[in-house]
Structure 1
Amino acid sequence: MLRSSLPFFLLFLIASFGESQHQQLFSSVFGYPGVDASYDYVVVGAGVGGSVVASRLAEDGASVALVEAGGFYEVENSNRSVVPLLSLTGIAFIDPSENFTQQPLMDWGLLSEPIPGAANRRVHYAQGKTLGGSSAINTMSYLRGSKSSYQRLADMVDDQSWAFDNLLKYFKKSCQLAPPNLEKRNSTNATVIYDPAAFDPSGGPLQVSWNNWVDPTLTWIAKAIEEIGLPLSSKGFSSGELVGHGAWIPSTIDPTNAHRSSAESSFLQNAIRNSSNLAIYTHTQATRILFDSSSPPKATGVIVNTQGVEYIISAFKEVIISAGTFHSPQLLMVSGIGPKATLDTRVIPLIVDLPGVGQNLSDPIRVSIANSVSTSSGQTLTGNLDTAPGYVQQYLDDASGPFSSAADYIAAERIPYSFRKNFTTETKDKLATYPDDWPETLYIPASFIGANFSTIGSTTAWMPIAFSRGSVSITSARMADPPSISLNWLSDPADAEIAVAAFKRLRHVWDTDAANTVKLGEELLPGPGVQTDEQILEYVRETAGQIWHPVGTCSMGQEGDEAAVVNSKGQVFGVHGLRVVDASILPFTIPTHTQGTVYALAEKIADDIKQAA
């Protein structure tokens, strides 16, 4: 590492020499805190959206500053983020309860406002504050949504480049898929079926692979789900078809070492190795976007703060906001873009009156059932001090065994008639506006350690069609103060009806021959005392949690649409030189785990930016 006291011109010469030799010193890719600087592009937030856009623009020859409030998760969360099994068991701050374990180096510590439809609970909403963002703390599942969901997006924004067949090239561009290692998986009950045409062997840096070990408990729950009428898909869940099937899905795991593949370990590390055009500012928060006095105003840079030191990073071309569904609208509002009444209340000078900023928050919920089972699981095997050392060695030597594995099975369906026949006319009419290939529920099995190294099997249903809408607002004119988050779960009666039906469907899973083969005793959660629709709904309101797929607070749309914040290329209405590139611009929840879609979204908008340059 170079000492920071070296003259700037010498640092520049060394970095330039490194580039001429097709390599560079690691220290040359980090911005100098406290010193005003200028770049072609300034990207705020190094999650999936920001990491992809910054990396792609830098590889194209543009100078890019990437501003991130956190640091390296490999250091600040260590194995808990790197080792797949620990992503399910070792990240304590994922806890959604109000009294969660804090980890200020990795998490923003966001708490929602009390949710009237969910027993007036306040929910902790973990969001990755680190290079890689939430791709450093998620469960790593990789799949894509239904074709009709992307078609609805394309129609809504009047841009057919968002249709699935046109977006597919960006899905392919972002990742490389490794076929399953059947020897390491060592399971005849977890058949992997997928469509190789949905991937490109020479795709991008994100590593996508199937787990090198299969949890036995999950195989039995998968059998139970198949027994209720959801057989394995013949294509997998990356070709735009999900409904009516289950699939053993891949994860964002590097199969060579079974480490998490995040936006940082893939895109940013690739950029660090291959480009001297990227400057990363870690532990640095953007506090305000700057604009010139032209009409319409143009974004010229951002004011940032590194550990109390404030300075300006200017952008010759564009400022790109990728701060996530909660912080992107907050940054727009404190910078003067948002609902005029909100900005007036906080005495923030108005740049553009955009009523949609912070509105339209779509946040699907999940419900779960748990039972004791007779099978082993990753947690029970590794939680036993007698057996754990052998599994650690297996992981280190062979990148296999329980530590190499995360969640890897999902099923999707439209709720069957027998479970929806009592829906109100209003709920039926709302659901009828969604095409038949759009899932109403998705099912995820899981396993946990119980007393005396016993195993608890769990099934979770999450409902991607969320009719309830929440919002994000500001509590002050400062980014240092957390935003106000109104999740508003279950405020629409249709969501409550769907959640009750999904719960009953979960009980159906546990009443199959496959489940009864391994199930032990009475239901653990919520227990046999919960039977009537009223009791089920009360349980849902008291226990429903997020699936961590919030979207919509900077929605894409067409100019003139009061709810829209950006156009189909992520450009903010009413100003020049400013885009938003993250999940907040999706106007509704895509029925899938979000990360695969956001990788493709960022690849696509990076191309838009290059073409506009």
Structure 2
Amino acid sequence: MKMSTRKYFLALLFSLSFLTLTSGAKRKRLPSSAYAVPGTNATYDYLVVGGGTAGLALASRLAESFRVAVIEAGGFYELDNGNASVVPYYSLTIPSLSSSPDYPHQPLFDWDLVSQPQVGGGNRRIHYAQSKTLGGCSAHNTMAYLRSTRGTQDRWAQIAGDDSYKWDNMLPYYKKSVTLTPPNWQKRNMPNATFTYDTTAFNPAGQGGGPVQISWANWVDPAATWLAKCLQGMGMPKSDVGFTSGTLSGFGAWTNTEIDPTTAERSSATEYLKQAIENTEIMVYHQTQAMKINFDNTKRARSVLVSTMGLEYTLSASKEVIVSAGVYHSPQLLMVSGVGPKATLQKYNIPVVSDLPVGQGLQDQIWFTVSSGITSPNAIQIASDPANREILLREYLDDQSGVLSSAGGYLAFEKLPSEFRTAFSKRTASALAALPSDFPEIEYIVTGFPDGKGGSAGALTATILHPYSFGSVTISSGSMLDKPVFDMGWLTDSADTELALAAFKLGPEIAPGSAVQSDADILDYIRKNCNQMWHPSGTCRMGKAGDGKSIVDMTGLRVLDTSIFPFANPGHPTATLYALAEKLADDIT
């Protein structure tokens, strides 16, 4: 009797303590309660496969109205990649971003993908860094926030047969995903680096902005400002509106996403997750890889077989499975689950659920560099000098300023001037003319770096924004444990080689130098030295039913990442991914 009474009072005490903790409005959900214990089958309304840029944004918005779980193969970038992901400057120097097949491995954070030999890229095999972490590539990129153009969005709507993708209809979603902080001119402290921007491209402070913070870096690389003068010398006008209001033309300072201006730390898609953990019942299965999507006899997606470090179990979706695993892994997951080219599936004895062109249409933007001599110091010189270490740390930790607070610089967009188009073939000229009038052909980024002799060199990188060369992604088995097989198809279309040659000739250089003069020599240099922009797209492209190129007829299944882009976009994809996630959440709810 005494034991029963004791148990009763202990239970009552626990209940009263719990009520005391939860009855007040100030008490919020413990972050730890959002991370599921693996091994138990469970059912949710929506399963989001991939906790990257788009995945976390969409899952967090859906969790406001539904039961949602996120399946993410990686962990936490703050732990697994440390300062390389958290401190802005280090995002420019992450060793695992190397494109060499002998890159420094980072197994906690990188998917360890290496391409097939690039026939148009000097027969090189390219390491393609892809983030395996909550936040995805928003935890791994160089933090540039650039939206698409008005004409580009309108073309997207035309291809999709859906006016909701037009610029005017997408702009509210661009605005909803981010919160803008004006530049801190005092910390930037660079009179020749002032700029203007379109304030109407963002929601006013406190009026509907999103969880991701965007601003401009609190420090300006002096080398970049003088290299920007080089762009002016090439005839490019300065942009008066910036790169967020539907225009990509001229040169200017890029807006940084994923930098919180109050802390100068990366503000990634995990900002969505933090907000959702506090306000919803979202659940996250981290260190958990999706192995296969299961369909019922009506070909409707019903569940996902997952593996947490070898422990397999099944998560079910009463409404939809949403795949957001990236341009390489999304098509791989669809194919091993029976959605893809029939011949490929049959080759690996995978039952065909739907015969669709999954994995085709890969477009990969590439860049190459022309170097010139400069005299101003640059960020890498300043940061690598041991004499500067203490002051740089104090600037960053105490004032959120200085070199370590910055990942931003200057860039420019243009359609090539007429004098550089004279060598275009009729086919290339026609292909470029078919792009929207505001779709830039080339993006230029200016950076400074040590010349190896105690001085500085300047790099002007030219990026082909709408490649006409296509690659593909396929599988080598029916298992997600085997890596996807992919070929980016670099410079296999003559339109791209003609455009690259013209862009190369825009300015003087010290590298590659006088030995590279003929078109054949220049093209050989470009093939052997070009690199990825990390903006691949198109492997699960959206479009109209019956166009033969789109992934459109699945039930209970969606895809949301850059693989759905119907063509390579001129703006950097992060901004568009956040907007697409906001739009899809709105469409669903």
TM-score by length of 2: 0.94
**Rounded Cα–Cα distance in structure 1 between residues aligned with 2:541 and 2:125:** 25
What are the equivalent positions in structure 2 for 1:335-414 lying under 5 Å apart? 335-354=337-356, 356-414=357-415
- Matched with 2:10 is none
48, 73, 85: which is aligned to 2:89? Answer: 85
**Rounded Cα–Cα distance in structure 2 between residues aligned with 1:453 and 1:312:** 58
CA shift, 1:35, in A, is 1.2
Contact 1:141-1:408 at 8 Å conserved across structures? no
Find out whether 1:423 has 2:409 as its counterpart: no
- Matched with 1:569 is none
**Rounded Cα–Cα distance in structure 2 between residues aligned with 1:30 and 1:274:** 15
**Alpha-carbon distance change, 484 to 116 in structure 1, aligned in 2, over 3 angstroms:** same
Indicate the SS of the match to 1:561.
coil
Contact 1:180-1:192 at 8 Å conserved across structures? no
**Rounded Cα–Cα distance in structure 1 between residues aligned with 2:43 and 2:18:** 20
- Matched with 1:585 is 564
Contact 2:196-2:240 at 8 Å conserved across structures? yes
Indicate the SS of the match to 2:191.
coil
Indicate the SS of the match to 2:505.
helix
What are the equivalent positions in structure 2 for 1:205-224 lying under 5 Å apart? 205-224=211-230
Deviations 1:106-163 (A, max 9, x none): 1101111111111111111101110000111101000112211111100011111101
Match for 1:292: what amino acid? D
Contact 1:175-1:207 at 8 Å conserved across structures? yes
Indicate the SS of the match to 1:100.
coil
Match for 1:168: what amino acid? L
What are the equivalent positions in structure 2 for 1:277-296 lying under 5 Å apart? 277-293=281-297, 295=298
CA shift, 1:371, in A, is 3.1
Match for 1:553: what amino acid? T
Find out whether 1:274 has 2:279 as its counterpart: yes
| Greater CA drift, 538-547 or 362-371 | 362-371
530, 552, 573: which is aligned to 2:538? Answer: 552
Q: Work out which of the two has the higher radius of gyration on C-alpha atoms and give 1 or 2.
A: 2
CA shift, 1:14, in A, is 6.9
CA shift, 1:18, in A, is 4.9
Deviations 1:367-424 (A, max 9, x none): 1012342211221111111112101110000100010011331111111111111111
- Matched with 2:5 is none
**Alpha-carbon distance change, 79 to 15 in structure 1, aligned in 2, over 3 angstroms:** farther
Match for 1:78: what amino acid? G
**Alpha-carbon distance change, 149 to 59 in structure 1, aligned in 2, over 3 angstroms:** same
- Matched with 1:527 is 513
What are the equivalent positions in structure 2 for 1:218-297 lying under 5 Å apart? 218-243=224-249, 245-252=250-257, 253-264=259-270, 266-275=271-280, 277-293=281-297, 295=298, 297=299
Find out whether 1:115 has 2:118 as its counterpart: yes
- Matched with 1:43 is 48
Indicate the SS of the match to 1:579.
strand
| Greater CA drift, 405-414 or 492-501 | 405-414
Contact 2:409-2:447 at 8 Å conserved across structures? no
**Rounded Cα–Cα distance in structure 1 between residues aligned with 2:185 and 2:325:** 39
**Alpha-carbon distance change, 255 to 288 in structure 1, aligned in 2, over 3 angstroms:** same
Contact 2:155-2:436 at 8 Å conserved across structures? no
Indicate the SS of the match to 1:462.
strand
Match for 1:210: what amino acid? W
**Rounded Cα–Cα distance in structure 1 between residues aligned with 2:267 and 2:131:** 15
- For structure 2, the 5+ residue unaligned runs are 1-13
Deviations 1:310-361 (A, max 9, x none): 011111111110000000000000000011110000100111111x210000
| Greater CA drift, 364-373 or 19-28 | 19-28
| Greater CA drift, 247-256 or 368-377 | 368-377
What are the equivalent positions in structure 2 for 1:164-179 lying under 5 Å apart? 164-179=167-182
Match for 1:299: what amino acid? A
Contact 2:135-2:269 at 8 Å conserved across structures? yes
- Matched with 1:142 is 145
**Alpha-carbon distance change, 18 to 77 in structure 1, aligned in 2, over 3 angstroms:** farther
- Matched with 1:3 is none
CA shift, 1:192, in A, is 2.1
Indicate the SS of the match to 2:333.
helix
Indicate the SS of the match to 1:446.
strand
Find out whether 1:305 has 2:307 as its counterpart: yes
**Rounded Cα–Cα distance in structure 2 between residues aligned with 1:278 and 1:483:** 30
CA shift, 1:180, in A, is 0.4
Contact 2:81-2:109 at 8 Å conserved across structures? yes
Indicate the SS of the match to 1:110.
coil
Contact 1:555-1:563 at 8 Å conserved across structures? yes
**Alpha-carbon distance change, 16 to 48 in structure 1, aligned in 2, over 3 angstroms:** farther
**Alpha-carbon distance change, 161 to 537 in structure 1, aligned in 2, over 3 angstroms:** same
- Matched with 2:33 is 28
What are the equivalent positions in structure 2 for 1:503-514 lying under 5 Å apart? 503-505=504-506, 507-508=507-508
CA shift, 1:16, in A, is 12
What are the equivalent positions in structure 2 for 1:53-64 lying under 5 Å apart? 53-60=58-65, 62-64=66-68
Contact 2:52-2:324 at 8 Å conserved across structures? yes
- Matched with 1:515 is none
- Matched with 1:434 is 435
**Alpha-carbon distance change, 452 to 35 in structure 1, aligned in 2, over 3 angstroms:** farther
**Rounded Cα–Cα distance in structure 2 between residues aligned with 1:282 and 1:178:** 32
Indicate the SS of the match to 1:256.
coil
**Alpha-carbon distance change, 455 to 607 in structure 1, aligned in 2, over 3 angstroms:** same
| Greater CA drift, 251-260 or 557-566 | 557-566
564, 570, 584: which is aligned to 2:550? Answer: 564
Match for 1:561: what amino acid? D
**Rounded Cα–Cα distance in structure 2 between residues aligned with 1:288 and 1:47:** 19
- Matched with 2:573 is 594
CA shift, 1:19, in A, is 8.9
Deviations 1:64-88 (A, max 9, x none): 1101111110011111111111000
**Rounded Cα–Cα distance in structure 2 between residues aligned with 1:173 and 1:466:** 30
Deviations 1:463-492 (A, max 9, x none): 111101111001100011111101111110
- For structure 1, the 5+ residue unaligned runs are 1-9, 511-522, 567-572
Contact 2:248-2:413 at 8 Å conserved across structures? yes
146, 160, 164: which is aligned to 2:163? Answer: 160
CA shift, 1:579, in A, is 0.5
CA shift, 1:494, in A, is 0.8
Number of paired residues?
A: 570
**Rounded Cα–Cα distance in structure 2 between residues aligned with 1:600 and 1:135:** 14
**Rounded Cα–Cα distance in structure 2 between residues aligned with 1:555 and 1:177:** 31
**Rounded Cα–Cα distance in structure 2 between residues aligned with 1:208 and 1:179:** 9
Q: Identity over aligned residues, as a percent?
A: 48
Match for 1:554: what amino acid? C
CA shift, 1:576, in A, is 1.5
Contact 1:440-1:463 at 8 Å conserved across structures? yes
CA shift, 1:193, in A, is 1.1
- Matched with 1:181 is 184
Contact 2:221-2:409 at 8 Å conserved across structures? no
Find out whether 1:536 has 2:493 as its counterpart: no
Match for 1:470: what amino acid? G
Contact 2:45-2:317 at 8 Å conserved across structures? yes
